[in-house]
Structure 1
Amino acid sequence: MRSWSVIIILAVSQFVMVLDSTVMNVSISVVADDLGTSITGMQAAITFYALTMAAFMLTGGKLGDLMGRARAFKIGAVIYGIGSLTTALSPNLTVLLIGWSLVEGLGAVLVIPAIASLAAINYTGKARVTAFSILGAVTGLAAAIGPLLGGVMTTYLSWRYVFVAETVVMVAVLFAAKLIHDVPRDRNVRIDPLSVVASAGGLALIVYGVLQSKTWGWLKPQHPPEIGGDQIAPLGVSPVAYLLLLGVVVLWLFVVRQRALADSGRQPLLRVELFRIAPLRSGLGGFLAQYFAIAALFFVVPVYLQTMLGRDALQTGVKILPLSVGLVLFSILGSWLTARRSARFIARGGQITMALGTLLVIASVGTDLRSAVFAAGMFVVGAGFGLLASQLGNVNMSAVEEKDTSEVGGLQGTFQNLGSSFGTAVAGSVFLLMLSSGFVSAVNDTENLPAADQQQIISTVDAAGVPIISADEARTLVLDAGGSPESAQAVSQAYADSQIAALQQALFVVFGLLVLALLFSRHLPSRIPEPGPDDRTVTSGPPATTNGS
């Protein structure tokens, strides 16, 4: 019975990994209110959760090789369970950042690579294909029911119960993990601490810079940080530009370090020569783009629905459901098409489909997201995601030799979560920045609102940060500042229009990236080798977990 027991254990763990992020996204405004923080604070938490996994996924894979995959899986389950419990008990944003963004993220970097490795170790031939198909189905199922489950729990009970349940599940997984078969660990694996610090530091600098762009500005300083009353903007340039530049330099030094380690006969954290493989580059680029798009949609759409339109978590989950349905159905269709069409044809079709779906979503924004066009757009985005998910994991694994599959699995996780963190950070920051400028313009352009009242309203909002408020709240602000009902209505209407423009501009960033990804996908293979009956190479895999998605 071990054959079925192992895949059940791994599938349950996979389900939890996917469910976790979807709950936080549909509950974003409720969690923010509960913890006494803002939407920007929640944006940081979601971004850093994905960033933690992106920064340490390669290290987690190496640790699995060093200590054994089963042991890494168990240790990761313990860390993840502790993080989930800490998240459930979070009294404020700081504890949430520690419990969810950091501790859970570190647990996931051990669990996620181990799931794929242990599936490959415990199953061979057709049984392995079946095992990965089960993991893929579970991923789709979690993505489909996650928004609804999170919406129901948040609306009728509390978002905290989801994380309590995750803790209980990980305890059960830990006890059941003794049934998992493993191979001897590789005692020759070495991890270079300097490489770990450089990769994590470079990515953190870039992502943090993007996150702060909505407040500090990209090049021209807007509201830069202050020390002793003096603004920090060297040479009149926003700190964001310096953070991005420094991050790129640190990542370049990381690459130099990897090449030096390889040339000296030592083990690099990342074999950079893998990027010379054209199909692998295209596959990893596809991963980054598709998860950027999903993470962006799963952040800006719930924020708009909940904060601007006043929808609750359950209504938000229902609105997102068409995307999940499209993902599941077209993952199955993509797998069926594999024997009939090339991976390039299916994957490029998925990229085009996601881009078209994003255009439909953009077109529906002016209808308060109530029209059938929005539902159709979300379904089409999910359909494109499903087609890509059915191909890219297989493309990446098949592009390298068997000995490199573990490292490529780590790269997949890195690019997936890097896409998720950038999606939340970039599209979210564009959205919030446009909201801020839109509100200021709405107040300043109201002709019958005295200048003193305009300044008072803007100062009140600036003191609280980026104005993530509804049009009705904007009306109340004007009235509280002594403005007339006519002025309040004018500001409210102008701000409502700017909210629509902000969402459209943020989503257009997603559309633009999907188009660029299509241009760089020409090296996707037309044919992938079929697995033999005892082929030890992983030739089929599940869609990777959807974080921030």
Structure 2
Amino acid sequence: MIVLPLALAQFVASYAATTMTVAVSAIAADLGTTVIGVQTAITVFTLTMASLMVPGSKLSDLLGRKRCFLAGLAVYGAGALLASAARGPGLLIFGYSLLEGIGSALMIPPIYILVTVTSRDLTARARAFGVVSGAGALGAAAGPLVGGLVTTWFGWRASFLLQVLLVGVIVVLARRITEPPSPPRERHFDVPGAILSAAGLFFVVFGVLQAGTYGWLVSRTDFAVGGVVLLPAGGLSPVWLFAGIGAAFLFVFFRHVRARERKGREPLVPSGLFRDRVTGLGLLTQHVQWLVLQGSFFVVAVFLQEVRGYDAVETGLMLTPATIGILGASAAAGRLARRHSQRGLVRAGFLLTVAGLVLVLLLVRAGSGVASAVPGLFLLGAGVGIMLTASVNLVQSRFPDSAQGDISGVSRSVSNLGSSVGTALAGSVLAGTPHLGGRSFALALATLVVVAVAGLLAALLLPAPD
């Protein structure tokens, strides 16, 4: 029973990240703003959630995992309620972008910590992670479909009210969660570390999100602030300006961590977390998995809408084979963990994912039938479903209960960064082609195949279990 509220919370957070994309035009028209204004709200939500994930995870150690989870739900629900009542872009950004982003950062890390510390063994943990990971992937995949249906039938405000309703159900279910006592730890929150890590992640993610507009290397258009052109078209892309600022903040953050450790004080994240080879490679595979998942969903969705002329509901239905693959693989996570190593499952998942992407490339054309996409999308979903659970289990199980707050925040930040990079990478490839057509989408999918192969290579480097 403990897994149900955790899985529902992960579903809601993932759903919120993708459902807004199909309601952009309706929201802009209703609030008297522009499509760019609504897209800004979506961007700020992503930035808020990604930049606060590590501090939010640390707070779970200080406040208690269950208490932090419930606090995140309360903030998230309040944000969704305010967003549903918005009469202008200001309240939408405050409710959706800020409060829902903060709520997500507070409630998501405890989900994975509670699964880890309440599971009896590796198999039970894999089964629970399978349910949670499947719910997260389902939320991301079903967001456009459910959002399209709700927006079409009841209006965009109903989508936020649906989230409020789900949050209420989760709060009722979560009251039954029994949290094991946390190991005794220093009860001081590293405020400077939290500010530095949040700023670093904010600028890195913000830079990545600019790739779709300006390109990765050479800026496609002038980058101006307040009418002053800082980077002219044809020069260096602003992606690297913001990524550089973020890297500088993160460098100072790691220096701060080492200095705090030398003084015998507990930092926001211990430096030893990044020295373990299995952890580093496991986090890299998590990053690539979410990059490929979100990137491929974005490419397929845009292809169906721009080339085939599908609406949001038809597009969501076409992605159903991938959703079925994800759910089927996630449901089998417990059985798979009993028969195979987590390392082997990550490798198998990448192989299936690459095979699925290649099949989509070979079979799907502008004039091909609906069935042409089914085999590739199903294999893609099954591959992602297998390795999402295995990678999380591999990394989380590497650490004792006392370090779960540390690794959970880093793990969720890496995954969120992968989602942002996936959409930005696919979008920048499509935006870099003169005309949207079959070749441009094939190029974007081929790029994701290369990234997935890189993920497979990282999985092959994973050492054998101790």
TM-score category (smaller protein): 0.7 to 0.9
* Residue 228 of structure 1: how far off its partner (Å): 7.1
Contact 1:118 1:182 in 2 (8 A): yes
In structure 1, the partner of 2:360 is 361
The range that moved more, 50-59 or 24-33, is 24-33
In structure 2, the partner of 1:507 is 445
In structure 2, the partner of 1:197 is 195
* Residue 254 of structure 1: how far off its partner (Å): 1.7
* Residue 34 of structure 1: how far off its partner (Å): 5.3
Deviations 1:300-341 (A, max 9, x none): 332333355432221011011111001111223454232223
In structure 2, the partner of 1:158 is 155
Match of 2:20 among 7, 24, 45: 24
Counterpart code for 1:376: P
Q: Give the SS at the match of 1:520.
A: helix
* Residue 170, structure 1, aligned to residue 167, structure 2: yes
Q: Distance in 1 between matches of 2:86 and 2:152?
A: 18
Q: 1:171 to 1:53 in 2, by over 3 A?
A: same
Q: Distance in 1 between matches of 2:229 and 2:333?
A: 53
In structure 2, the partner of 1:75 is 71
Q: Give the SS at the match of 2:338.
A: coil
Counterpart code for 1:181: T
Q: How much is the aligned-residue C-alpha RMSD, in angstroms?
A: 3.2
Q: 1:309 to 1:42 in 2, by over 3 A?
A: farther
Q: Distance in 2 between matches of 1:164 and 1:41?
A: 21
Deviations 1:390-427 (A, max 9, x none): 31121112223343233222222111111112212232
Deviations 1:459-486 (A, max 9, x none): xxxxxxxxxxxxxxxxxxxxxxxxxxxx
Q: Distance in 2 between matches of 1:72 and 1:168?
A: 20
Q: 1:228 to 1:388 in 2, by over 3 A?
A: closer
Q: Distance in 1 between matches of 2:10 and 2:211?
A: 34
Counterpart code for 1:506: A
In structure 1, the partner of 2:109 is 113
Q: Give the SS at the match of 1:231.
A: strand
Deviations 1:203-228 (A, max 9, x none): 22233223334444545444223467
Rg larger for: 1
Q: Distance in 2 between matches of 1:356 and 1:42?
A: 36
Contact 1:350 1:384 in 2 (8 A): yes
Match of 2:81 among 80, 85, 98: 85
The runs of 5 or more residues in structure 2 that have no matched partner are: none
In structure 2, the partner of 1:262 is 261
* Residue 48 of structure 1: how far off its partner (Å): 4.1
In structure 1, the partner of 2:372 is 373
Counterpart code for 1:515: V
Q: Give the SS at the match of 1:232.
A: strand
Deviations 1:462-512 (A, max 9, x none): xxxxxxxxxxxxxxxxxxxxxxxxxxxxxxxxx4xx433332233233222
| Residue correspondence of structure 1 range 125-144 to structure 2 within 5 A | 134-135=131-132, 138-139=135-136, 142=139
Q: 1:347 to 1:180 in 2, by over 3 A?
A: closer
Identity of aligned residues (%): 35
Counterpart code for 1:21: A
Q: 1:505 to 1:149 in 2, by over 3 A?
A: same
Contact 1:54 1:418 in 2 (8 A): yes
* Residue 383 of structure 1: how far off its partner (Å): 1.0
In structure 2, the partner of 1:467 is none
Contact 1:291 1:423 in 2 (8 A): yes
Q: 1:389 to 1:369 in 2, by over 3 A?
A: farther
* Residue 79 of structure 1: how far off its partner (Å): 0.7
Contact 1:154 1:314 in 2 (8 A): no
Q: Distance in 1 between matches of 2:401 and 2:179?
A: 17
Q: Distance in 2 between matches of 1:351 and 1:197?
A: 35
Deviations 1:279-307 (A, max 9, x none): 11111111100101112223333233335
Q: 1:129 to 1:323 in 2, by over 3 A?
A: closer
Contact 2:207 2:242 in 1 (8 A): yes
In structure 2, the partner of 1:233 is 231
The range that moved more, 229-238 or 56-65, is 229-238
Q: 1:316 to 1:96 in 2, by over 3 A?
A: farther
Q: Give the SS at the match of 2:222.
A: coil
Q: 1:214 to 1:151 in 2, by over 3 A?
A: closer
The range that moved more, 506-515 or 182-191, is 182-191
Counterpart code for 2:98: L
